Amino acid sequence: MKGTTKRIHNSGSVPSSDCLFCKIIAGKLPSYKVYEDARYLAFLDINPFATGHTLVCPKKHGETLWDMDEHEIGELFAVASRISRSVVSAMNADGFRILQNNGEAANQVVPHVHVHVIPNMLEDKGKFAPRQKLSPEEMQRAAEAISKELLG
């Protein structure tokens, strides 16, 4: 596949040993995990746009989609799609948003590929909510509800 050789700017670029998400994947940092398989991990965003806002990321470190092959990208979005069904059901949402940022200019905060799955309510149509700070109890309840839907 032909493509550009331009590097996407991430001022927060770090080796995988210092990557926040790699540390979560390795269990060195806590998270509200909702799904895990051999290649992917899904956990709640610590500063969500909505209760149940989930991040889906590959366990293999890479900063942007350009660090993945097409098969891996397809798998990542297939997992995100599966997670979205459980997030919508568990949060009793009316819809969901899939968001994937590449590079600092696109608002990528953590330089590790990840997909946001954000539940939305009909009354919020046309709005983009600010980030929230939920209590540990609210986060735990949301994670358990999503995990339960995934198992069901």
List 53, 61, 112, 114, catalytic entry: 114
CB 113 within 8 A of CB 62: yes
Asked if residue 56 belongs to a domain, the reply is yes
Asked if residue 7 belongs to a domain, the reply is no
pLDDT of 89-134, one tens digit each? 999 999 999 999 999 999 999 999 999 999 999 998 887 788 999 9
CATH number of 42's domain: 3.30.428.10
Whole-number Å distance between alpha carbons of 38 and 74: 16
For the chain, the domain total comes to: 1
Asked if residue 10 belongs to a domain, the reply is no
pTM: predicted TM-score of the whole model, two decimal places: 0.92
Asked if residue 106 belongs to a domain, the reply is yes
Let me know if 114 is a catalytic residue: yes
Asked if residue 26 belongs to a domain, the reply is yes
Asked if residue 31 belongs to a domain, the reply is yes
Question: What is the torsion angle, in degrees rounded to the nearest 10, for the CA atoms of residue 146, residue 38, residue 14 and residue 8?
Answer: -80
Asked if residue 3 belongs to a domain, the reply is no
For 138, the domain range is: 16-151
Query: Could you give phi then psi for residue 105, rounded to 5 degrees?
Result: -65, -25
Asked if residue 8 belongs to a domain, the reply is no
pLDDT of 11-62, one tens digit each? 767 778 889 999 999 999 999 999 999 999 999 999 999 999 999 999 999 9
